[in-house]
Amino acid sequence: MGRTWLAALLAAWCLLGVSAHADTPVPHEIVYTVTTESPVAADIYYRETDPPTWADYSHNPYEFSPKVRVDVGPGNPWVFHATLVDPQRWAMVTATSGRSPGEPRFRCELKVDGAVVATADGPKGALCALRHW
């Protein structure tokens, strides 16, 4: 009886180990790139961490979406590397020139694990994401 109990305990332990391993989130390398055809001071919001829950995000989206104001132009892209567990849900970069005059022609690119998964362009701004915001 002792050996049977020990074998059952070991089997259960192995199953728990496999289950715990299967639930371990896999981080993904995210690369956001923003370019423009003419120089501009751009406002860029991006997601660099996964919010713990949708409720946390919706309560304060700016806590999880930092903003930078940077000079972007031909030969001067803005590139940011992040790590997200759920890029399908959270990967996002958006850039705009706001009320600045002119149309700098924005282009954004979103890569997940080295593969381009989203691109967008626009005269005064662009949004790249995997989900529809």
Q: What is the pLDDT of residue 100?
A: 83
Terminal alpha carbon distance of the chain: 59
Question: What mean pLDDT value characterizes the chain?
Answer: 87
Instruction: Check pLDDT > 70 for residue 12.
Output: no
Fold of 26-129: Immunoglobulin-like (2.60.40)
Residue 84: which residues within 8 A CB-CB, separation 6 or more?
A: 27, 28, 30, 47, 48, 49, 50, 90, 91
Q: What is the pLDDT of residue 121?
A: 97
Distances from the Cα of 20 to the Cα of 25, 27, 70, 84, angstroms: 10, 16, 42, 20
Q: What is the pLDDT of residue 24?
A: 82
Q: What is the pLDDT of residue 98?
A: 86
Instruction: Check pLDDT > 50 for residue 93.
Output: yes
Q: What is the pLDDT of residue 95?
A: 98
Mean pLDDT in residue range 104-110: 98
Mean pLDDT in residue range 98-119: 95
